[in-house]
Amino acid sequence: MNLKEWRRQLPQHLALPPAGPSFYLNVLHFDFNFDAEEATEAVNRFDVHTKAVDTGVQGLRNVFTQVRQARVGEEPVTYRPEMGT
């Protein structure tokens, strides 16, 4: 549709009443339409991912603490998984 045709049809489109929320029930747009089960599964996977990253980051912090203390000649800290230190 060219610009001239669009300008000709614009008043007709603007005069239509709002479609309301039911409009979205009739529109298929893959970026915005989703299945509730699929969304729940994605949230659960993301939750598992963030917990794994948190565990990995905490493990790295513990290792870096031990390395730092060893470099300054302090008494080495023993890693105790149950305490997280």
If you ran DSSP here, which 8-state letter would residue 5 be given? H
Q: Is 79 domain-assigned? A: no
**How many structural domains are present in the chain?**
1
Question: Measuring CA to CA, how many Å separate 68 from each of 43, 54, 58, 61?
Answer: 37, 21, 15, 10
Q: Is 21 domain-assigned? A: yes
The whole-angstrom separation of Cα 36 and Cα 69 is 49
| Confidence category of residue 11, pLDDT binned at 50, 70, 90 | very high
Q: Is 85 domain-assigned? A: no
The whole-angstrom separation of Cα 35 and Cα 27 is 14
Give CA 81 to chain center in angstroms.
29
Q: Is 66 domain-assigned? A: yes
pLDDT tens, 64-80?
A: 888 888 877 766 666 66
Please give the model's pTM, rounded to 2 decimal places: 0.40
Tokens of 52: 């794994």
